[in-house]
Amino acid sequence: MAIATRVQDYLSSHGVRYEVLTHPHSHTSMQTAHLAHVPPHALAKSVVLADDTGFLMAVLPASHHVQLGELGKELDCRIRLADEGELARMFDDCEPGAVPSVGPAYGMRTVVDDSLAGEAEIYFESGDHEQLIRTSGRDFMAMLAGADRAHFAERRWHH
């Protein structure tokens, strides 16, 4: 599958320079980072959440997980994970579970974890399970300039 249509349009309209990397089919963001040979802390994953007003995309490194309570406090609302059906409707140009970390391309309020701000390069899902988009950290953050910034991600501990 190619890059999701709305992602491609968004990248073009924002003049973002990017490269597409192909990797073996993956099921999780950590597996994607491993198979694509990219550092997990530079792979921006998205977690789609719902609150009383609609949907929200949280963007954070694959090496971290969302602290829902922390993010809810930060945003002053109650949040829950969006379910598969909601995701399928919102991201109908993507394969199930391959949600690109570009909420604005889907008209979605977005919050980015501060830990991504210092990365030289950022990788993110293209909309399928076999391609990643690589861009500079500067371009990625500029693309999400209208997003909220917060500290809500916690590093995963590996055994």
Q: For residue 11, is pLDDT > 80?
A: yes
Q: Report phi then psi at 92, rounded to 5.
A: -75, -5
pLDDT digits (tens, 9 = 90+) for 52-63: 889 999 999 999
Mean pLDDT, all residues of the chain:
92
Give per-residue pLDDT as tens, 87-129.
Answer: 999 999 999 989 999 999 999 999 999 999 889 999 999 999 9
CA gap 142, 77 in Å, rounded: 26
Q: What is the CATH number of domain 5-155?
A: 3.90.960.10
In the prediction, which pLDDT does 159 show?
Answer: 43
Q: How far is CA 14 from the centre of its chain?
A: 17
- Average confidence (pLDDT) over 49-75: 92
The H-or-E segment that residue 149 falls in is strand 148-150
pLDDT of res. 49? 96
Whole-model pTM over 0.75: yes
Q: How confident is the model at residue 131 (pLDDT cuts 50, 70, 90)?
A: very high
pLDDT surpassing 80 at residue 1: no
